[in-house]
Amino acid sequence: MTIISELSVAPEKPIAEPRKSRKNNPEKTRENILQEAIVEFVQQGLSGARVDAIAERIHTSKRMIYYYFGSKEQLYVEVLEKLYGDIRSTENRLHLTELAPVEAIRRLVEFTFDHHDRNVDFVRIVSIENIHNAEYVKRSDAIKAMNNTILDSLGEILRRGAAEGVFRSGLDPLDVHLLISSFCFYRVSNRHTLSEIFQIDLPEESIKQRHRGMICESVLRYLQA
Q: What is the pLDDT of residues 4-51, one digit of tens each?
A: 433 333 444 444 443 333 456 888 999 999 999 999 999 999 999 999
Q: What is the rounded CA–CA span in Å between residue 121 and residue 189?
A: 10
At 26 the pLDDT is 84
At 171 the pLDDT is 97
**DSSP helix/strand/coil, 16:** coil
pLDDT tens readout for residues 66-79 = 999 999 999 999 99
Helix, strand, coil tally for the chain in percent (to 5): 75, 0, 25
Cβ neighbours around 84 below 10 Å, total: 20
At 12 the pLDDT is 43
At 1 the pLDDT is 43
DSSP 117: H
Q: What is the rounded CA–CA span in Å between residue 62 and residue 52?
A: 6
pLDDT tens readout for residues 154-165 = 999 999 999 999
Q: What is the rounded CA–CA span in Å between residue 58 and residue 74?
A: 19
Residue 125 CB contacts under 8 Å (≥ 6 apart), including other chains: 38, 41, 42, 79, 80, 83
Query: Does the pLDDT of residue 181 top 60, yes or no?
Result: yes
